[in-house]
Structure 1
Amino acid sequence: MFKKLSISAAAVGALVAAAATVLSPVHASAASAPLSDARIAAHFDLAQGRTPENIALAPDGRAYVTFAKARQIAEVSPEGTVRILATLPEPADGGVHTPALGFPLTVGITRAHDGTLYFLYATGTADLTGVWRMSPGGRPERIAALPADGLPNGLALDARTRTLYVADSVRGIIWKVPTIGGTATAWSTAPALAPNGFLGVNGLKVHNGAVWATNLDRGTVLRIPVRRDGRAGEAQTRADGMPGIDDFAFTGRGDQLLAALDGPNEVALVQGDGSHSTVLTSADGLQSPTSIALHGDTVYVLSAAWNTAEDPNLVLARLAR
């Protein structure tokens, strides 16, 4: 999720980027080790609401993306071609009561091994807000309701226990939902998850026996152990000093991760000891980066252009192993 922004109609109308136009790789010089060869792989059409919020990858490199303002789930090929898989129904009131934002939006997404997609929809209404599921070739269906006065945002899947974890950025809660659907239960309400003015707990990942989370307002990375009985352990702050931190992805080197910093237009490399450095910037094409995924040594970074209203895009970079 992103910093609060109102995009004027004039600004949107001035955009000339075609939907998902594929470019020849444009190499930038700002990428820092261990990243290199940063390039814009695709542009998305802001006038159509195609602000990419979250990403999940298939084994072949296809990306499944939520276009937040368009209320869409899309598939993006490795070549940058976009195919819209579903558009979620608009709430009867237009979504004006969606907490913190005032418009309905598709948010976190994750993919199961069988290709089933799970994703979040926030509308400010009780009939639509919650966890949704879509099987390959199927239609989206809501499998768990979430509070209309919350903002479901980050989503993580624990395939071993068939559990979905949901970050509620407004209420400062991590919810727990079985993949078969049912009632959401509050898994963690740790104070470290709470917002501090706008949005709190944001990105989520399951990693090495714990749920890891970011807090956008507080600029922190948190680790919450999963106890043997499935309950949440004590929240631990593993890194701080990164205001505007959104979603993130582990690199495969222990607890090292890459994090999208929305406000600063940066990607940070965060080490296991909490130290961090900038590895991508706006010079690489970043415009309000929202989420990150890895496929082998390829890093995918989505930018929603919330703060620039210019060029929502997909940036690819290479991670040295």
Structure 2
Amino acid sequence: MPRLARLRLVTGAATAVVAVGVLAASPAAADTPTVSQPHIVAHFDLAAGQSPENITVEPDGSADLTFASARQVAHVTPDGRTTIRATLPEEPNANTPNLKAATVFGIARAHDGTLYVDYATGTDKTGVWRIAPDGGAPQQIAQLPANALPNGLALDERHGVLYAADSVQGVVWRVPQAGGAPVVWAKDTALDPVPVTGAGFGANGVKVHDGAVWVSNSDRGTLLRVPLRANGSAGPVETRATGLDHVDDFTFATPYGDTVLAALIGDNEVVVVRPDGTHTAVLTQADGLSNPTSLAVHDGTVYVDSAAYFTQRDPNLLLANVSCGPGH
């Protein structure tokens, strides 16, 4: 969610959260993952548009990030060396909802190394794009409506589909992994942005986890679960947590269980969200966060990228150790 749209987020989020009911953060509990030894491994160039928006991790522990306004996908090694893997095509007539500028959002990785990204332009370039493992020019595999704002992106390789959370239309799109026509998979008021008082960003992060598609809603401060029915359709939307002020993207602490780590962009926090919906901060601005946007967990490490949209200071990639008890 780039800076131009986020300027309304700080003032609008409090009202948005009240609309769904505030669930106060609880004191640390025994089932809270332990996050320790946070350290920044890479600093990026804000003037060059290098605000990291979304992240996926490679098997070797390196990370692939989207640089929102630079329209780039960057590769960052564990020791912080950064190279540009791909640049999305320029759109001189961009009219992106909320933003006007062409913006790269979510990223997902297949097991063979293929990357998929959301690109929002307000034109026929809006949609899902594929980047081959060996590089080459990005290719559009699905076109979404020009008035869509595809944000988070998740890949379900088992069923050969991608899910894109549309922050403006308040829907989750399903796209064939091989490419083709997208369909509206889920639509519900719980996915919508908050009218008038919100920042204009509803459904944001999206993950496929344990028989469901999970979605965060930035304006409403909620974490949602949408069951995957046996026929592949969406079940009724369930609210799993509220009071997640300024929530952006999120990830699961482990592949098992429903404990979530979520980025609260306006609060400069990463919080752990327990299965009962309570949450506690585990990383803060004091650790180096500068408007965190997304997270990933790999091999006992949590990766957090900060876009510095509000602070305008030090976009970066932070790593920390994460360990969970047997209940996760």
Q: TM-score normalized by structure 2?
A: 0.87
Provide the residue aligned with 1:234 in structure 2: 236
Aligned-partner residue type, residue 75 of structure 1: H
- Matches of 1:308 and 1:237, distance apart in 2: 30
Structure 1 runs of 4+ with >4 Å offset: none
Provide the residue aligned with 2:248 in structure 1: 246
Does residue 49 of structure 1 match 2:49?
Answer: yes
- Matches of 1:268 and 1:2, distance apart in 2: 21
Provide the residue aligned with 1:76 in structure 2: 76
2:285 to 261, 282, 287: 282
Q: 1:2·1:246 contact (CA, 8 Å) conserved in 2?
A: no
Aligned-partner residue type, residue 117 of structure 2: F
**Deviations 1:42-101 (CA, angstroms, capped at 9, x unpaired):** 1000011000000011111110110001000111111111110111111122x2x11011
Cα RMSD, aligned residues only: 1.2
Q: 1:2·1:288 contact (CA, 8 Å) conserved in 2?
A: no
Q: How is 1:288-307 mapped onto 2 (pairs within 5 angstroms)?
A: 288-307=291-310
Q: 2:218·2:247 contact (CA, 8 Å) conserved in 1?
A: yes
2:214 to 201, 212, 215: 212
Does residue 147 of structure 1 match 2:150?
Answer: no
Q: 2:33·2:253 contact (CA, 8 Å) conserved in 1?
A: no
Q: How many positions carry a matched residue from both structures?
A: 293
Percent identity, please: 55
Provide the residue aligned with 1:203 in structure 2: 205
Q: 2:33·2:272 contact (CA, 8 Å) conserved in 1?
A: no
Aligned-partner residue type, residue 317 of structure 2: L
**Deviations 1:273-305 (CA, angstroms, capped at 9, x unpaired):** 111101111001111100000111111000000
* Structure 1 spans left out of the alignment, 5+ residues: 7-31
Q: 1:239·1:274 contact (CA, 8 Å) conserved in 2?
A: yes
Aligned-partner residue type, residue 149 of structure 1: N
Secondary structure of the corresponding residue to residue 47 of structure 2: helix
Provide the residue aligned with 2:97 in structure 1: 99
Secondary structure of the corresponding residue to residue 286 of structure 2: helix
Q: TM-score normalized by structure 1?
A: 0.89
Provide the residue aligned with 1:261 in structure 2: 264
Secondary structure of the corresponding residue to residue 220 of structure 2: coil
Q: 1:130·1:145 contact (CA, 8 Å) conserved in 2?
A: yes
Using the TM superposition, give the Cα deviation of residue 203 of structure 1 relative to its aligned residue in structure 2, in angstroms. Answer: 0.2
Does residue 319 of structure 1 match 2:322?
Answer: yes
Using the TM superposition, give the Cα deviation of residue 2 of structure 1 relative to its aligned residue in structure 2, in angstroms. Answer: 5.2
Aligned-partner residue type, residue 64 of structure 2: Y
Q: 1:2·1:290 contact (CA, 8 Å) conserved in 2?
A: no
